[in-house]
Amino acid sequence: MVNGYAAESLQQALDILVNTDAVPYAGGTDLMVENRPDVKYLFLKKIPELRAITVDEQYVHIGAAVTFTEAIANPDVPKLMKEAITLIGSPAIRNAGTFGGNIGNGSDKADSVLIEFAADAKICLVSQAGERLVDVAHFYLGRKKLDLHPGELIKEILLPRYGLEQYTYQKVGGRKALAITFVSFAGVFQYFKCAMAGLRILRPHLGQPGTPSRDIRILKRCFL
């Protein structure tokens, strides 16, 4: 049984977050399997602001509680992101897993995070003090380490609306489907300049089975 709270609005979620030690989640595909009996959870899936995909002049805004399946079906989500998240887990995982959870989990196997690095995405964080916009390269500090302050929630991911049309993406897993990433690479190219951000190398650590070693490199403006 999962103990906790189910917020109906963003303000209610922030109030609960400030006054309790609840762990926020929307899909729970990784979180629930941890089976931590003493933890209380804050369910975010009912909050409209976290469920939307919207577009402005510069960015595609993907709410933290948007599932991968919803993003795949949305015409505004860049093709590069769709290609990567289509390969995440099984249909059941894609139906439940969310963008906020994928980065909020702090995992070095997060397929959508690689694309966010390649796209120079921004992360919108919200608290009772207001909103804070952080470059993904500064937000994602390492495995299980995020620039997330107490009382903050991941509100949305901002992907550039333009400039991601020319790209390359490769994922290597143990099999063709339902595969955990061994190695993946994403590169975004613009005219005669290449902005290959988010080269991620992920491999098992031989000394500690199940503990991957992680290498993220950001390459900008490599003139050809």
Q: What are the tens digits of pLDDT across the range 110-167?
A: 889 889 988 889 999 999 999 999 999 899 887 788 999 999 999 999 999 998 988 8
> 0.85 exceeded by the pTM?
no
In this predicted structure, what is the pLDDT of residue 198?
41
**For 26-49, what is the mean pLDDT?**
86
For residues 84 and 112, is the Cβ–Cβ distance under 8 A?
Answer: yes
In this predicted structure, what is the pLDDT of residue 54?
98
Per-domain boundaries in the chain:
4-160, 167-223
| pLDDT-based confidence at residue 182 (cuts at 50, 70, 90) | low
22: pLDDT strictly greater than 80: yes
CA separation, residue 110 to residues 3, 20, 55 (Å): 26, 28, 24
CATH architecture observed for domain 4-160: 2-Layer Sandwich (3.30)
Sign of CA dihedral 15, 113, 201, 160: negative
